[in-house]
Structure 1
């Protein structure tokens, strides 16, 4: 029997955060259990914003992947979107296919049926003959080492987007985008497959910006006063960004020729003692000019900063011909009724400032402000986010990932858009399930819409659900929904039969008391609900389980685990007897040859 252990919250911290934020101690206590322990984190959790989505270029291979997609678009190459048959895989496929179509791509999509999970050499060969030169996997591919090698040998580039646990050996894909890869520094690891696909095409949308793949230097200076003619620079700070990702920093104190007035030191905190061992402006400017090169320059109130920098460059017989962008002027255009000071903008945009009125800190803050302003200004990226949130919210709810960080943003803003979708298939589903707007929540989506859509995939007909979500033809949507409803009825009957059969066989084939993990093999059941049956066995017996159904010369099935036991790692240790596998620490799909089943 399960025993619940309740963590105790820090009472003093609970009281402090409750007083600072105005939320009750009960709410604060719950948030502390989730590791949310600062006022900023609490605000982001309770009131998430679209602007809090992470920059997709934090993925190490993102720029490379985007450039390859843009090349395929420019050359009219044939692209294949290769998905998976659950709702996460379906919505991932829909996002990729619809957006590439919108961009004018020659694009196909494929979701496996009887072949089972993941890439297959036979299908790669089939699409090679149809002229495909680029495959983009969504919600699969991270374990496809052999298949990617085969595709490469046939002259096809593969971009993998996945969110499943990464094996020790990774595929040698053209680009690999999976937050769970060991070398990946993307800050949020719990994206669903559709979330990873969404990030890829968010980045593709940004690639149409003037700032894509360009070096930009965001700078700030501190001085002895306000006059570039009479006063001097005492500090230069700058961050070099590419696709709004910081790639390099510059920070130098400067020894001025005259003392820093005390009233000025009181503002930025820099004193004569701080600067007495620092180089003079001529040496610092040489280093700074080398740092900026031909980059676009950005500053908040650039007239002030650049007046000092132009004058300092002139003294060493240099010029600064770079393009300069002023975030102050940009904010006045895009935020006409707001305060436009850097600190006020940062506060309004929920950007944390580490140290106000120090050059490097202010430059870093200005960089984040600039990124938010560009998001407001760039219509293509904003349009993509608004148009595809409904799909990413559906797939995120379906995959039962933690509803924190980006997942929370997707669901908060996407679920209402899902209800109001103009796609006839979605409207027909909601009407058939008799869901009212006031009760249309993530929970209702999870319990009503997701099982219906998943039922088609369980019967190898995920294409029905994929088409239902994107068709614009009402008559076709009605026909698809009728077929899916019929399949769902069969699925419910099959579920009852299989769960009973698997539980009976598990008791017969395993030592229920002493076995650490159950392995159950049957040869007389239909596929489709094996994962559901495995979950039921976990609930009943509280132990990891592998369920396999024999079919021809292969055994295919599902594995489920309990907290603390990584089923992917366990299966990876047996990979010499497994044909194909993939999944998460708690849930895996797998297949193996019958002769390897003991």
Structure 2
């Protein structure tokens, strides 16, 4: 069950609310409440955060090597050199290529002295390649400018130098241990974490490069610099960078330009996506997936560069149609991979799994990164999904498969030659875990590897996959103290009535956009509502074919006031909605197709929702006297004398103490440890005694005797039944709340069923691990579960 976290709901002071309202006609108490809860206090800073016209952008020459890059472009113009842009095939890389293509096209004739090269996703990988560099050198190129790639391609850069080509790198991925031998390296990773340029994506770095050229040679360009901002916004939001500082400023200005739809290609894409282009979600759920799908399905991303830069509306419509078909195909394949991966995860013991590493011979490498991100978010663990390319495909091939790896894949010494049997794929991280650094500790197992703290691509020999899985789990197990990561809670920003789910609240909260890392979307909670007229809907592709995605739509009713609102819950069915009143958490959106405001549900539970943790304002005092003498306890106090066996039980105790504003005292000792063998022998002994004497025993008493849960005892009885033992169940009507009793009859000979016994042993082992782990949870972890900092 997902935990809901009630954020600190301290009411902002009146002067603060008044100041926020004075900033914009749409601003109101809800805007002030969210800003206050997120730590905003300075009105001037808030003004520059909300309105780009009040933000002072950082100079492009803040990059240490920008001047060298600009001077090398000037030299190339003077000497009539031929220049090549080396791009990348994801949305950030494609938009970066388009920005450089149009921007540098103001300085060099396109197709004559300026060309671009993007690796084919189905046959090549991210980053520079020696084959591609040789092709460009054969075409007469003497200067290569990368975008969204290249920082770690050390061997390839040396190869380019040997061919007589200079390289300028514009990128944002993790820097190598030492500077590559290039003319200029423009990468925001050189800045401190709090620098306003630190989190620029690849397209934003490319834009700052063009900005520097415009500043240095103001009389050359014929097109305005602002022309590129819509492309910058797409790459920034699609790449999920932290939207702070210049990132937020550029995204805000870019979305404003995107709304005008000056580019025929973007207008055609938005039309197919049924979006206006005025919100970041139009990019993250509309434009970004369609741009990415082109290379995932067709391989060649140059189609997208043409789509983004053409001024021919008819050609734009044709290319947008091709992108739409690719996206439909992508969604079908992605859903298949997700279902297969979740079946594999169901077989894992997640109590001892710190990183999920799965491999399959049919998975498309171009799609596993997307699925890995979905799974990491759902299970709260880093996820690595791999395609075993050397294995034979089983029945049910997924169709066109993507053979690419991830950004800036770097071959390590001794790994330059492609082994015949490789596993290739992608990794996605969770908040607070530097995945790049973690994988960097296991280079000896990898063939290629590259990326950044949140996402990485890798390839390795298939035989090394178990070693990598074991090594990563061991490393994270030690780092996390043997405790699986706590399931991330859904933070509740505002409680709102159904009556407010309309234009006013929507426009007010829209002031806080664009949302992203560092500025999450505003989560609303509706309490005690009724869900009426649930209806299952299916998605169809552009050709009218049904896809394997579904969602449920319904009416949300406030039974007290009678107000109604439209609701939607993606990837769910009507039967997932519990009867009676519910509490809902989600976001308010606008459906352009139906021209109505819709509440997008993230999670729902029967009301009243008992699994909501209080806010930070009430500090929970935990008195930890486990495994030691107990001193006199204060009054009042809530005492916990036996360790909870599930996180749900823990949350109930923590919430009870927090709501009552009294300390929680932990005064229990170590729970007795029962091995699977001991539990099985004890169960055999008890049931043989019942068979011999004809006696009965209550299931609750049997649980106490075995020291096991009801689930484990039931598993044990099922195992006995599989061996041929007859189990008789007797309800106890004279004790309505009591569990039933059982008796047994043993056959003369018990059947051999080692698999059934093994399953019981695994159940007991997992339960004992969980019980002892939960009994020793550190106090700081309990505070995190209670929604407080340690």
Conserved 8 A contact 1:202-1:384: no
> What is residue 414 of structure 1 aligned with on the other side?
254
Within the candidate set 369, 383, 399, 1:545 is matched to 383
Identify the range of structure 1 (142-151 vs 559-568) with the bigger mean alpha-carbon deviation: 142-151
CA distance in 2, matches of 1:171, 1:54: 26
- Are 1:148 and 2:162 counterparts? no
> In structure 2, do the counterparts of structure 1 residues 54 and 6 end up closer, same or farther at CA, with 3 Å as the change threshold?
farther
After TM superposition, the structure 1 = structure 2 runs for residues 357-436 of structure 1, keeping only pairs within 5 Å, are 384-435=224-275
Displacement of 1:98: 1.1
Calculate the aligned-residue CA RMSD, in Å: 2.7
> What is residue 204 of structure 2 aligned with on the other side?
195
For residues 65-106 of structure 1, the C-alpha deviation after alignment (integer angstroms, 9 at most, x for no partner) is: 111112112212111111111111110000001111122241
After TM superposition, the structure 1 = structure 2 runs for residues 24-63 of structure 1, keeping only pairs within 5 Å, are 26-32=30-36, 34=38, 36-49=40-53, 52-63=56-67
> What is residue 108 of structure 1 aligned with on the other side?
115
CA distance in 2, matches of 1:36, 1:175: 38
After TM superposition, the structure 1 = structure 2 runs for residues 123-134 of structure 1, keeping only pairs within 5 Å, are 123-134=132-143
Conserved 8 A contact 1:205-1:384: no
Within the candidate set 469, 482, 504, 2:308 is matched to 469
For residues 191-232 of structure 1, the C-alpha deviation after alignment (integer angstroms, 9 at most, x for no partner) is: 1111111001100111115xxxxxxxxxxxxxxxxxxxxxxx
Conserved 8 A contact 1:549-1:556: yes
Conserved 8 A contact 1:117-1:589: no
Displacement of 1:60: 0.6
- Are 1:499 and 2:338 counterparts? yes
CA distance in 2, matches of 1:133, 1:35: 51
CA distance in 2, matches of 1:565, 1:182: 20
> What is residue 363 of structure 2 aligned with on the other side?
525
> What is residue 245 of structure 1 aligned with on the other side?
none
Task: Name structure 1 gaps, 5 residues minimum.
Answer: 210-378
Q: Which structure's CA Rg is the greater one?
A: 2
> In structure 2, do the counterparts of structure 1 residues 175 and 34 end up closer, same or farther at CA, with 3 Å as the change threshold?
farther
> What is residue 293 of structure 1 aligned with on the other side?
none
What number of residue pairs does the alignment pair up? 425
For residues 34-87 of structure 1, the C-alpha deviation after alignment (integer angstroms, 9 at most, x for no partner) is: 554422211101111286221010111111111111211221211111111111
Q: Secondary structure at the match of 1:528?
A: helix
CA distance in 1, matches of 2:361, 2:225: 46
CA distance in 2, matches of 1:54, 1:500: 45
CA distance in 1, matches of 2:177, 2:433: 18
Displacement of 1:499: 0.9
Within the candidate set 576, 581, 586, 2:454 is matched to 586
Within the candidate set 557, 561, 565, 2:425 is matched to 557
Q: Secondary structure at the match of 2:114?
A: strand
> In structure 2, do the counterparts of structure 1 residues 457 and 36 end up closer, same or farther at CA, with 3 Å as the change threshold?
farther
After TM superposition, the structure 1 = structure 2 runs for residues 239-254 of structure 1, keeping only pairs within 5 Å, are none
TM-score by length of 2: 0.50
After TM superposition, the structure 1 = structure 2 runs for residues 322-333 of structure 1, keeping only pairs within 5 Å, are none
Conserved 8 A contact 1:165-1:181: no
Displacement of 1:518: 1.4
Task: Name structure 2 gaps, 5 residues minimum.
Answer: 391-419, 467-790
> What is residue 163 of structure 1 aligned with on the other side?
172
Within the candidate set 81, 85, 89, 2:85 is matched to 81
Displacement of 1:19: 5.6
Conserved 8 A contact 1:389-1:410: yes
> In structure 2, do the counterparts of structure 1 residues 511 and 172 end up closer, same or farther at CA, with 3 Å as the change threshold?
farther
> In structure 2, do the counterparts of structure 1 residues 36 and 74 end up closer, same or farther at CA, with 3 Å as the change threshold?
farther
Conserved 8 A contact 1:59-1:177: yes
> In structure 2, do the counterparts of structure 1 residues 32 and 573 end up closer, same or farther at CA, with 3 Å as the change threshold?
farther
- Are 1:480 and 2:319 counterparts? yes
> What is residue 243 of structure 1 aligned with on the other side?
none
CA distance in 2, matches of 1:464, 1:480: 7
CA distance in 2, matches of 1:130, 1:35: 55
CA distance in 2, matches of 1:29, 1:185: 25
Identify the range of structure 1 (147-156 vs 17-26) with the bigger mean alpha-carbon deviation: 17-26
Displacement of 1:473: 2.9
Displacement of 1:567: 0.6
Displacement of 1:405: 2.4
Identify the range of structure 1 (52-61 vs 142-151) with the bigger mean alpha-carbon deviation: 142-151
For residues 233-275 of structure 1, the C-alpha deviation after alignment (integer angstroms, 9 at most, x for no partner) is: xxxxxxxxxxxxxxxxxxxxxxxxxxxxxxxxxxxxxxxxxxx
Conserved 8 A contact 1:543-1:562: yes
TM-score by length of 1: 0.66
Conserved 8 A contact 1:135-1:156: yes
Conserved 8 A contact 2:436-2:453: yes
Displacement of 1:25: 6.2
Conserved 8 A contact 1:79-1:135: yes
CA distance in 2, matches of 1:16, 1:390: 37
> In structure 2, do the counterparts of structure 1 residues 156 and 4 end up closer, same or farther at CA, with 3 Å as the change threshold?
farther
CA distance in 1, matches of 2:172, 2:458: 17
Conserved 8 A contact 2:197-2:247: no
> In structure 2, do the counterparts of structure 1 residues 142 and 185 end up closer, same or farther at CA, with 3 Å as the change threshold?
farther
